[in-house]
Amino acid sequence: MLRSKEYYNLRKNLKKILNQMIPGNKFMPSFSKAVRIEIILNKHLENKLMLSLKKKRINFNKMQDFENYEKVLCNDILNTYFTSNSVIKALNLMKRSYLKNTKKENVFKLLKKVKNKKKIFRN
Amino acid sequence: MKKETADILIIGAGASGSAAAWNLSKLNLKIVCMDQGPFIDKKEYSFNNKNREIYKLGKFNIDPNQRKFNSDYPINSNNSPISIANYNAVGGSTLIYSGHYPRFHPSDFKTKKIDKVGSNWLFNYYDLEKYYNLNDKMVGVSGMTGDPAYPKIKNLLPPLDIGYSGDIIAKAFNKLGWHWWPSYAALRKSKKYKKGIRPTAVEIYLNKAIKNGVIVKPNSRVLKIKLSKNKIATGVIYSNSKKERKFLKASIIILASNGIGTPRILLNSRNKDFPNGLANNSGQLGKNLMLHPLGFVEGHFDKYLGSDEGPEGCSIYSHEFYETKKNRNFKRGYTIQLLKAPGPIETFHYLKKFNRIKFGNFFFKNLFDYFGRTVPMAIICEDTPSRNNFIQLDNKNKDSDGLPGIKINYKISENTKKMLSHGINQCKKLLKTAGAKKITAFGPVKNTGWHLVGTAKMGSSKKNSVVNKFGQCHEIKNIFIVDSSIFPSSSGVNIASTVQAVSLMISDYIKKNFKKLIKKNA
């Protein structure tokens, strides 16, 4: 059973890690802005790797890569992040902004050339 | 063992079984439609469910060996370059299909006659046209009339948006002077739902059949079809969700369990009169398996094209290389389909495979350099029948009721290999013309055995085929087959439209001749 202080440390450290894994950018929110940390935490509370985060101080500079965390959390991180409403919204905004200056031709105009083609099926 | 009765029993509530159930429901008869899978809530398999990407990797995985649900049976594909994809639930594989609804070409019904490959059907495109039209109306197929690849198709719903990636590829097709057309799709535009509304067999046919009085029995697996001494089917022994064994007596039995499930039931029902499986004195049951080998070509573009947007499946297609041409080194041909690119979760897993993405500062850069900037294309090759491609019972791997699973024995023919290689080269040319900066291609793709055809072949003689032109078994007159296992040729297009049209045609025959059929079999 975790003491409340340990739980507090664990949550804080996990939040740091998850935000380093998915830090957010101009369009996309960071992990903790999109998903409640407790969702991930409660699912993996009994994992040894997680329990090691209950210490107060963790040297994050030593954790250059996230391989160990990725092995355990990858699917849950991706699934919760990309199905969160704020991420879906942000993704749509990003797409709209990318496609802002892209123009499309009318499909009927494009098909004119094909319509004049000979029949290509055999009876 | 408890006994139940029905006038008509339909085994399988997927694309073909649901169509037959609806068509026959207009008769004032007791019709039971049985499926080994459960009823699933419509919201779960909707394209618009935000968890769809997750479900595709889990409970709606196309591979029965990965899902391993009680409703699934093991399919051993070790002896095949292509593994089987299906879904066992009420609605069948239409719960996971892309809703691409093209018809066969008129030439697909007579490949032997005109191209000296494969087998001829016992009816032609124009015999089936009435049922194609009815099915299009029931499904609500969207598309555009005037396609030079087909005889005139009328009454289509407005076509779907081809998107920005479709626009670029359509221009490249035009530059090369090749045929292309907006796809025929079982998808309706919707203001509310961005990805469109895709009906499955449940919404198209089954719900209407239930309203007309058809009884649907989910979680009910047929273990054996029983015969009388005079070789007439009397009914089936089935197991329900509580694993209770029951006998259901039926005057007519209709098999609609796809190109693997149907022969599996007949093979598992073998008895003294039919030691090699019911209706299989010809030895053709389970043979001639055709699978549509698929090639995959993907173009990578500099800018975001929104290729992950819009409805799933195919937005435009080409039949430029569909018919046999003398100057090619293969007979028959293939369809080119422009597909939708994967969503962010699938994209991550794909990039991870090649070590091209890492969590951290470059996570989004790695992801968005790929996501929505790729244009995936599929080449669907026509397969030709061969006795060497067959399925058999697999006694080592059994389902939750102890019935043997299935083993696939399949090799791609030399003709199809040449076709596949030709298709990949043409798609590379197309994507280069469209301005792709990088192109990747491979084929055949392993997990693409969606279209299961030919394993209970239709023919005029009981010596070399299983059923006649009405899907009626030559050797057991009150067993009909309405699914793709009876197709003598595979075509080079998705089969859902033809599966349902054929099912409507056969069930029409049963409807018109029901009294006669009952008298004969009595």
Question: DSSP for B413-438?
Answer: -HHHHHHHHHHHHHHHHHHHHHT-SE
B54, B361, B368: residue with CB nearest A83: B54
CA B508 to chain centre: 21
Strand B245-255 and strand B2-11: the pairing is parallel
Which amino acid is residue B393, in one-letter code? L
Are the Cβ atoms of A79 and B306 closer than 8 angstroms? no
Taking only the tens of pLDDT, chain A with its 123 residues reads 667 888 888 888 899 889 989 999 999 999 999 999 999 998 888 888 778 777 766 666 665 557 788 888 899 999 999 999 999 999 999 999 999 988 899 999 999 989 888 888 998
CA distances for B343 relative to A23, B18, B189, angstroms: 20, 31, 20
Cβ contact, residue pair A102, B303, below 8 Å: yes
Give the residue among B53, B77, B413, B470 at the shortest CA–CA distance from B260: B77
In chain A, the residue whose alpha carbon lies closest to the alpha carbon of B55 is A79
Is the CB of residue B84 less than 8 Å from the CB of residue B75?
yes
Cα–Cα dist B25/B87, whole Å = 25
- Chain A residues touching chain B at CB-CB below 8 Å: 20-25, 28, 65-66, 70, 77-79, 82-83, 88, 91, 94-95, 98-99, 102, 104-105, 107, 110-111, 113-115, 117-123
Q: Phi first, then psi: give them for residue B477, nearest 5 degrees.
A: -70, -15
For residue B417, which amino acid is it? K
Choosing among B359, B364, B366, B370, which should be mutated to test the A contact, i.e. which has the most A CBs within 10 A? B359
Q: Which amino acid is at B4?
A: E
Query: Do the chains contact at A120 and B323, CB–CB below 8 Å?
Result: yes
List chain A residues with CB under 8 Å of B360.
20-21, 23, 65-66
A-chain CB neighbours of B132 within 8 Å are none
Token digits of residue B73: 């049976």
**Best A107, A115, A116, A119 residue to mutate vs chain B (most B CBs within 10 Å):** A107
Instruction: Locate the chain B residue with the closest alpha carbon to A105.
Output: B167
Residues of B in contact with A28 (CB under 8 A): 364
Domains for chain B: give ranges and CATH numbers: 2-341+373-517 (3.50.50.60)
Residue B522: predicted pLDDT = 65
What 3 state SS string does chain A have? CCCHHHHHHHHHHHHHHHHHHCCCCCCCCCHHHHCCHHHHHHHCCCCHHHHHHHCCCCCHHHCCCCHHHHHHHHHHHHHHHHCCHHHHHHHHHHHHHHCCCCCCCCHHHHHHHHHCCCCCCCC
Q: Residues with Cβ < 8 Å from B402, sequence gap 6 or more?
A: none
The pLDDT value given to residue B260: 97
CB of B145 less than 8 A from some CB of A: no
- d(CA B409, CA B84) in angstroms, rounded, equals 11
**B contact residues 367-386, partner A, Cβ 8 Å cutoff:** 368, 372
Tell me if chain A has a CB within 8 Å of the CB of B148.
Answer: yes
- Expressed in angstroms, the distance from the first to the final Cα of chain A is 76
pLDDT tens profile A51-60? 877 776 666 6
Cβ–Cβ below 8 Å for A65 and B182: no
CA torsion sign for B58, B63, B67, B69 is positive
Q: What is the DSSP string of B43-59?
A: HHH-TT-TTHHHHHHTT
What is the per-residue pLDDT for B405? 97
- DSSP structural state of residue B80: S
- ipTM higher than 0.90? yes
Locate B77 and state its tokens.
Answer: 């594909």
Tell me what pLDDT residue B309 has.
84
Distance from CA of A119 to the nearest CA of B (A): 4
Residues 6+ apart with CB under 8 A from B296: B376, B377, B378, B379, B441, B442, B443, B445
* Secondary structure string (H, E, C) spanning B86-122: CCCCCCHHHHCCCCECCCCCHHHHEHHHHHCCCCECC
Interchain CB distance below 8 Å, B344 and A91: yes
In angstroms, the CA B178 to CA B176 distance is: 5
Query: In chain A, what residues touch B174 (CB-CB under 8 Å)?
Result: 110, 113-114
In total, the C-beta contacts within 8 angstroms joining chain A to chain B are: 109
> pLDDT by residue for chain B (522 residues), tens digit each?
667 999 999 999 999 999 999 999 999 899 999 999 999 998 888 877 888 888 888 899 999 999 999 999 999 999 999 999 999 999 999 999 989 999 999 999 999 999 999 999 999 999 999 999 999 999 999 999 999 999 999 889 988 889 999 999 999 999 999 999 999 999 877 777 766 788 999 999 999 999 999 999 999 999 999 999 999 999 999 999 999 999 999 999 999 999 999 999 999 999 999 999 999 999 999 999 999 999 999 999 999 999 998 767 788 999 999 999 999 999 999 999 999 999 999 999 999 999 999 998 899 999 999 999 999 999 999 999 999 999 999 999 999 999 999 999 999 999 999 999 999 999 999 999 999 999 999 999 999 999 999 999 999 999 999 999 999 999 999 999 999 999 999 999 999 999 999 999 999 999 999 999 888 766
